[in-house]
Chains A and B, each alone.
Chain A
């Protein structure tokens, strides 16, 4: 028996056609095209014919190895130390550019740790990609609770019957409507190291005890600054979703809770939160997916720097594909990104499924 969807539903399909065909043309076709490109060595600008290279692009991005560096020794067999007493090691390049180790050729140091006197160095064929991967995951890890939680808080605040509540709703929603590029430029001024707004406020609050920080110019604060700003920017959107969820909860439940003498917290814990379950799943999955696409903030505010601390996968895709004309490399990153997001969403969907 055919389902209701396919039976006697011509008008429905007709109405869906424009949307479906646009999605097909601009999302689905390009995706398969990207997948095809990732198997070739296609350049953006080149007179050379593209060749089929199999999985080489994936190997070039994902290869990782660990090499061990023995300390430098002098003629007497003593370990050489520099002025600070740190052990000196041969340069990683003596391995990655030597003919003895063809398998490590062109790889670079990602990070290292020390094991006794020897140093273990993790080398990757694409260090930049690895850093971008870690940064993107970090971004997603922080932005989901920050943005989701903040949005819920805002939704609870504006879900009241107050005079002029619409003004607050508009104000909180405003950042979503403004172009992310404009917002990024504004926040660049706010984060400015010399006399940015944030530094000024902190100085006033601490009565001058606070020393100005160059928020976007330091490796330890740059990514955090972008996370905070992005969480703020996207909050309004999810606030509206939460609000819709809140308003779908029947008022009779609240009345019953009030009659039973439930405290505010108990009302939230046992009435509001269970009622928001499906909304929460939606918000969680949407924020996760969006967070993996972080690009404009990085492009406008830091360009991936300082020292790659704000490189992200989509930024690398664009940088490679268009900046460095390596369109197959860029396509490979987007395929990997797609698989990652797909896996994570699937896992989230599984973990948050309705248990009966």
Chain B
């Protein structure tokens, strides 16, 4: 008897709830941050405030672990089951837009006024996604190391040249104080390789694909400049400046903090941990200039509207709501990302002028170059990663880059040019 009553009660309650929500159109949002409590908490605040601020739409979030997020989206797209609002990684966005998973985001120009260019996902002259933050990479060093080795501190205006970088690595190696002079993070397989290392190649004058047509890679990824980059890349490992692809992931995380490495090529997300671990005199140096200007990667997670969404204007309203400075500042304080606007940066502890990480905002603004904006990037990135790992392990540079060019072109061909 009691059970029936409880059931009836529950039924009545759920009907009442459904009744209240009927006025609002429900929009599902998929997010990549499952397992991160701080991040989920922040996102829930954004959603709750959006749902109570207007009466037309109500957003419901479903979180996935980042490792399997892309697979989940692809699988549900194939099954015709996409949510309304999708969280998408910057470089993957063109692939999803081309595949028809995403539709253009009808966002107003004012909402993105003054935002870091790298937080706005453009493809085919349309805006498909906008992010609340960006990430940036810098050369971590200790001021004491620079002083001891007698090195000039590079600045954004005057970064190190290739020779200065190599002189610094030589000095660090000769000092005998370190296991390795430079930690590149070769332990982090996957997107880290194209994100962190393709800007080196671009600074040399090469690139992954020809950005003017996106139809070929021959003569770009295996150009003379790219081969010069490859020779330099190989020398880092052959001459013992940097640990190779079998680097212990634990060393990647704490090697610099423990003083095993003099320099570390790492993202802003590791900065807070480094400061917290007591490395007080850490400095975040800009990328060296290898010839055509210093460059770092850009583009992080962004929000877009799926093609299955029947209320794109509602989705856009949500994205505009989320783009408020206070949320960007909150995400930045919570999980250490670079806020999307100058104003938001001023509201944060670490990225405000004079804050310990303010330099990352400037790096993002001055050196950032987005990864090739093409649906083919997803495959080209894989090819690039393998080529760099092989070169690091001693493969012939020209042959490897030639093979990479062939493979990328084969893929472009079998996709009928990716619609470019």
The reply to whether chain A is a binding partner of chain B is: yes
Complex: A304 Cα to B244 Cα, angstroms: 15
Q: Do B416 and A48 have beta carbons less than 8 Å apart?
A: yes
With A91-B398, A219-B393, A305-B393 already in contact, 7 other A-B pairs whose C-beta atoms are closer than 8 Å: A45-B77, A47-B98, A47-B419, A194-B251, A217-B246, A305-B389, A324-B382
Check: B228 CB closer than 8 A to any chain A CB.
no
19 residue pairs of the A-B complex, CB under 8 angstroms, read: A41-B414, A45-B95, A46-B99, A46-B415, A47-B419, A93-B399, A106-B410, A127-B403, A188-B249, A189-B248, A193-B246, A214-B246, A217-B245, A219-B393, A303-B189, A306-B246, A307-B393, A319-B382, A326-B414
Overall SS of chain A's interface: loop
CB contacts (< 8 Å) of A127 on chain B: these are 403
B246 touches A325 (CB 8 A): no
B264 → chain A closest CB, angstroms: 16
For residues 17 through 40 of chain A, which have their beta carbon under 8 Å from a beta carbon of chain B? none
| Chain A residue total in the interface (Cβ 8 A) | 37
On chain B, the residues within 8 Å of A41 by CB distance are: 414
Q: In the complex the two chains form, is B390's CB within 8 Å of A217's CB?
A: no
CB-based nearest B residue for A304: B386
Is B320 interfacial (CB-CB < 8 Å)? no
Chain B residues at the A interface, C-beta cutoff of 8 Å? 71, 74, 77, 95-96, 98-101, 179, 189, 244-246, 248-251, 378-379, 382, 386, 389-390, 393-395, 398-399, 402-403, 406, 410-411, 414-416, 419
Contact A217 B98 (CB under 8 A): no
Residue from the set B74, B95, B386 with the largest chain A CB neighbour count within 10 Å: B386
The answer to whether B415 touches A43, judged by C-beta atoms less than 8 angstroms apart, is yes
* CB <8 Å contact, A217 and B415: no
- Which residues of chain B are within 8 angstroms of A325 by Cβ–Cβ distance? 378-379
What CA separation (Å) do A323 and B379 show in the bound complex?
Answer: 7
The answer, among B99, B379, B390, for a CB contact under 8 Å with A47, is B99
Pair count A-B, CB < 8 A = 81
Give the contacts of A48-104 with B (CB-CB under 8 A). Answer: 48, 91, 93, 96-97
Q: Which residues of B contact A193 (CB under 8 A)?
A: 246, 248
A48 to B413, CA, bound (A): 12
A280 → chain B closest CB, angstroms:
37
Do residues A307 and B395 form an inter-chain contact, with CB atoms below 8 A?
Answer: yes
Q: What is the CB-to-nearest-CB distance from B208 to chain A, in angstroms, rounded to a whole number?
A: 14
CB-CB under 8 A from A307, the residues of chain B are 390, 393-395
Interchain CB contact under 8 A, B382 and A47 = no
Question: A240–B250 Cα gap in the complex (Å)?
Answer: 36
Judge whether A216 and B406 touch: CB under 8 Å. Answer: no
Q: Which of chain B's residues have a CB closer than 8 A to the CB of A304?
A: 386
Please measure, in the bound complex, the distance between the C-alpha atom of A323 and the C-alpha atom of B100, giving whole angstroms. Answer: 19
